[in-house]
């Protein structure tokens, strides 16, 4: 009985050992796949800007003298024609009095000569005096007339110098630093203060030759509107507009200067401040793919393209621009290519997959961040 059981089990084991194994099926892995998206994509670029008042002038003395009085203080708003400083002018007053006296004396000499000339003309007509004597008196009168004109010019010049002792505001604005106080000796050409008209400001910034050409090539009405980012990275609440571009590039830097104008109703912006100009740009018909669909090999960018047989093919691409989560592709792909959406780190070149198409447009934000 025991022997029969042993034989039975041996036969069963033999049968199991001889039965053929069933083949294990390798099911292809499933990957989401997308087509690159073609769309106009806006992005921003920032450029360091120097802020200047629309009107800024250094007020300098045109004469030498002592500051007799300051009529304004630093930071004060002034109006056009308002008196700012007065310099010592007693010397010019005396010189003006002397010039006035010289003018009156010259005028009196001229009148006396003209009376004598008229008398001689009557005598010449009666042949009592010879004509050469009349010519001499005429020449004398002409010389005195020239002397009167010289006296008038000298008097006006002295009066002009006297007016220079009264320094007035050339336009409405804000007084800046006053380096010389009352009683200071001022030389001709010394700066007394400066005045800024900050109701509007200019922002000067520079573009490289490539950025300039791209700007000109894509210049549209909306690209002339710019935003100013302040030094604390806050955005200035008022938008500006690009007004002008310089006519030549700087040979040392290779850049060209732009000028934008901004309103400044709250007087936030000051002459000499710094900021950044933010320009909105448009990339026409950009070929967009997600960054998660790419991988790098030796600083080169690649994607996995799915061929017609659903096989993965590694392909090198050249990016044109990088956004926060996406690339704009310069070359290497077309809008009809199918690429692996995510999970490229696990994919293998030559592997067969089960593609699951998804709509990339639903995954791309309205404006990719640059």
Domains of the chain, first to last: 29-42+285-362 (2.40.420.20), 45-54+201-282 (2.40.30.170), 62-88+166-189 (2.40.50.100), 90-164 (1.10.287)
Cα atoms in the Cβ-side hemisphere of radius 13 Å centred on 115: 6
Q: Residue 31: pLDDT above 80?
A: yes
What's the confidence (pLDDT) of residue 317?
A: 94
The encoded tokens of residue 17 equal 């050992």
Q: Residue 154: pLDDT above 90?
A: no
Q: Residue 219: pLDDT above 60?
A: no
Residue 18: which pLDDT band, with cuts at 50, 70 and 90? low
Q: Residue 112: pLDDT above 60?
A: yes
Residue 221: which pLDDT band, with cuts at 50, 70 and 90? very low
Q: Residue 8: pLDDT above 50?
A: yes
Query: Which contacts of 241-247 are long-range, i.e. CB under 8 A and separated by 24 or more positions?
Result: 245/212
Average pLDDT over residues 329-346: 93
What's the confidence (pLDDT) of residue 164?
A: 82
What's the confidence (pLDDT) of residue 21?
A: 53
Mean pLDDT of the chain: 83
Report the distance separating Cα 151 and Cα 10, nearest Å.
147
Report the distance separating Cα 138 and Cα 121, nearest Å.
10
Average pLDDT over residues 37-48: 88
What's the confidence (pLDDT) of residue 147?
A: 79
Cβ-contact 203, 259 below 8 angstroms: yes
How far CA 73 is from CA of 77, 178, 311, in Å, comes to: 9, 8, 80
Query: CA angle at residue 15 from 12 to 18, to 5 degrees?
Result: 150
- Give the list of residues 6+ apart from residue 53 with CB closer than 8 angstroms, or none: 173, 196, 197, 198, 201, 202, 271
Residue 370: other Cβ atoms inside 10 A: 17
Report the distance separating Cα 29 and Cα 304, nearest Å.
14
Q: Residue 314: pLDDT above 90?
A: yes
How far CA 299 is from CA of 296, 319, 321, 334, in Å, comes to: 6, 12, 15, 22
Q: Residue 96: pLDDT above 80?
A: no
Q: Residue 265: pLDDT above 60?
A: yes
Which of the two residues, 354 and 6, has the higher pLDDT score? 354
Model pLDDT for residues 160-207, shown as the tens digit of each residue: 667 788 899 999 999 999 999 888 988 889 999 999 999 999 999 999
Report the distance separating Cα 307 and Cα 315, nearest Å.
11
Q: Which of 16-30, 87-101, 127-141, 235-249 has the largest mean confidence?
A: 235-249
Cβ-contact 204, 277 below 8 angstroms: no
């Amino acid at each position: 009985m025991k022997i029969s059981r042993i034989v039975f089990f041996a036969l069963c084991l033999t049968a199991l050992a001889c039965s053929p194994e069933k083949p294990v099926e390798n099911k292809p892995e499933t990957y989401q796949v997308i087509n690159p998206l073609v769309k106009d994509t806006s992005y921003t670029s920032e450029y360091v800007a120097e802020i200047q008042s629309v009107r800024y002038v250094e007020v300098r003395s045109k004469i030498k003298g002592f500051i007799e009085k300051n009529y304004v203080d630093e930071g004060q708003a002034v109006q056009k024609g308002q008196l700012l400083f007065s310099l010592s002018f007693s010397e010019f007053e005396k010189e003006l009095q002397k010039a006035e006296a010289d003018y009156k004396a010259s005028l009196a000499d001229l009148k006396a000569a003209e009376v004598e000339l008229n008398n001689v003309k009557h005598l010449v007509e009666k042949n009592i005096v010879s004509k050469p004597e009349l010519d001499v008196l005429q020449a004398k009168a002409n010389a005195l007339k020239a002397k009167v004109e010289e006296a008038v010019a000298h008097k006006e010049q002295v009066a002009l110098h006297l007016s220079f002792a009264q320094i007035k505001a050339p336009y409405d604005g804000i007084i800046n630093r006053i380096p010389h106080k009352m009683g200071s000796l001022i030389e001709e050409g010394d700066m007394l203060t400066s005045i800024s008209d900050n109701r509007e400001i200019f922002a000067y910034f520079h573009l490289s030759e490539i950025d300039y050409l791209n700007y000109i090539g894509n210049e549209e009405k909306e690209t002339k509107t710019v935003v100013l980012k302040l030094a604390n990275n806050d955005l200035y609440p008022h938008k500006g507009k690009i007004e002008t571009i310089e006519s030549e590039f700087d040979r040392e830097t290779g850049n060209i200067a732009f000028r934008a104008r901004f309103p400044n109703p709250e007087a936030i912006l000051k002459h000499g401040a710094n900021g950044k100009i933010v320009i909105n740009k448009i990339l026409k018909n950009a070929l967009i793919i997600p960054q998660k669909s790419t991988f790098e090999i030796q600083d080169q960018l690649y994607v996995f393209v799915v061929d017609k047989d659903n096989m993965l093919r590694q392909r090198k691409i050249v990016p044109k621009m990088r956004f926060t989560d996406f690339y704009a592709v310069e070359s290497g792909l077309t809008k009809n290519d199918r690429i692996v959406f995510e999970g490229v780190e696990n994919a293998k070149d030559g592997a067969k997959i089960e593609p699951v198409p998804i709509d990339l447009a639903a995954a791309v934000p309205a404006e990719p961040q640059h």
